[in-house]
Amino acid sequence: MSDKTTHFGFKEVPYADKVDKVAGVFHSVAAKYDLMNDLMSMGVHRLWKRYTIEMSGVKRGDNVLDLAGGTGDLAAKFSQIVGPTGSVTLADINSSMLKVGRERLTDRGLVGNLRYVQANAECLPFTDNHFDAITIAFGLRNVTDKEAALRSMYRVLKPGAPLLVLEFSKPVIKPLSPIYDAYSFKLLPLMGKIITNDAESYRYLAESIRKHPDQKTLKQMMVDAGFEHVDYFNLSGGIVALHRGYKV
């Protein structure tokens, strides 16, 4: 039996256990996920996602993968952009999040060019050179083997296609850091307790942000996975960063 461990927030857990532990978090918060996102970011997460969509260059007829797509914010917009000649795959490892996303987008009448796949980012069940773009928003930090996930994303992208990783990152404005820490470790779990009756899941989410690679480290990880022309764009003072790289 392997004694390899990895981080789950600030805790060390057996490597094989992390997927189930992360799944438990998102099974718990799925129903109120969108509400909490709006409250936690004061609605700014919608601007971060809009910027990601603009930077993707996705156009009519494209085949797009929204990975760790959760409740479908990005997939909904991509569905409208690619039109009936394109397709959007909303993929998530968590069945509860995928169910909420499917119900939400179906209620909006978005059915013709959308499909839903429960998939692990580390071993995507798609053919090589399949997608015109991949986005993963606030999902990579929850992946156990991020290097394997980046390689898997690279494999299923078409040559010339972009990967866009939108994720919490390291503030680049020093006065932001203590304010951000106080918000993350005090206010965020309290909000989780009030809204979802689950403080622990939101404590984990705050901790997972701190364990995620910073901007330069993630850029190098993408380069190591094969991506070229990799760059990142700090949003909200680096609280969030958008990384973009291309398969060649």
Cα 164 from Cα 219, distance rounded (Å): 11
Q: From its phi and psi, is residue 26 left (phi > 0), alpha (psi between -120 and 50) or beta? A: alpha
Model confidence pLDDT, tens digit, residues 71-108: 899 999 999 999 999 999 999 999 988 998 999 999 99
Domains and CATH numbers, the chain: 5-172+205-246 (3.40.50.150)
Exposed/middle/buried for 82, CB within 10 Å: 0-12, 13-18, 19+?
Answer: buried
User: Which amino acid is it at 41?
Assistant: S
What confidence tens digit (pLDDT) does each residue in 117-157 have? 999 999 999 999 999 999 999 999 989 999 999 999 999 99
Looking at the chain, the number of H-run helices and the number of E-run strands are 10, 9
Q: What is the pLDDT of residue 176?
A: 84
Residue 227: DSSP 8-state: -
pTM score of the predicted model: 0.86
